[in-house]
Amino acid sequence: MAKLNLSVAISGRGSNLKALIEACADPGFPAKIGLVISNKASASGLRFANDAGIPNLIFDHKAYNNRADFDRNMTGAMEKSGTDLVCLAGFMRLLSDEFCDHWRDRLINIHPSLLPSFKGLDVQQAAIDAGVRFSGCTVHYVRKEMDTGPIIAQAAVPVLSDDTAASLAARILIEEHKLYPHAVRLIADGRVTIDNERAVISDHNGPINALQNPE
Ligand code: GRF
């Protein structure tokens, strides 16, 4: 079966891009990355695309008069590359309604909290400040409102009493790097459908043990 063709959009470090590249390097993985896009020429994550020989383009948002033009150019490049699924991976630009409509149900994002809790930025500190005992990461389809959309997969990590935003972010990031390829695989295998704005996973085996923190 043909592999799902991904476009990955980044703005910075690109560690999730790296995780996706590594997953795609497995011949049995049902997706490949056809294009990497960054809105910043300085994004250090671009080196992962270059090292892997993946075509990459920089769309400097400052060079565009408005968001719609910027987004239309990105869509054009992604269409040209034959994109089946757009993966946002630390892409720090809000997307236009037009872009979200064009790629509806073919556009996913990874966010470092258990959505719908803690949308937006600085979410690790927000989780610590709220005193929650678990946080984690979410891969979800993208809708127009920021950090909303049907949830595909989540991974939970404990929040420890001496956590800083940095230590919690590091614990979550380890899970992000496993969860994003896992979610892409679920989609590529045709196991995800959207029903009434909920993502439904077929043949779904979840863990049955409760987590407790503190013990
Ligand atoms: C990740 O924490 C991701 O969840 C969030 O932005 C960060 C990107 O990190 N959306 P990286 O660029 O993939 O290393």
For 109-136, the pLDDT digits (tens) are 999 999 999 999 999 999 999 999 999 9
CATH (residue range 1-103): 3.40.50.170
- Please list, in sequence order, all residues whose beta carbon lies within 8 angstroms of the beta carbon of residue 178, skipping any fewer than 6 positions away: 19, 155
145-166 tens-digit pLDDT:
999 999 999 999 999 999 999 9
> What is the domain class of 110-202 according to CATH?
alpha beta
How many angstroms does the Cα of residue 109 sit away from the middle of ligand 1? 10
* Catalytic machinery residues: 111
Does residue 205 have a pLDDT over 90? no
pTM: 0.98
110 CB within 6 A, ligand 1: yes
- Calculate the average pLDDT of the chain: 97
Pocket test for ligand 1, best of 47, 87, 94, 110 (most atoms within 8 A of CB): 110
119 CB within 6 A, ligand 1: no
140 CB within 6 A, ligand 1: no
Does residue 204 have a pLDDT over 90? no
Q: Which atom of ligand 1 is nearest to the CA of 14?
A: 12
Mean pLDDT within 85-97: 96
The boundaries of every CATH 3.40.50.170 domain in the chain are: 1-103, 110-202
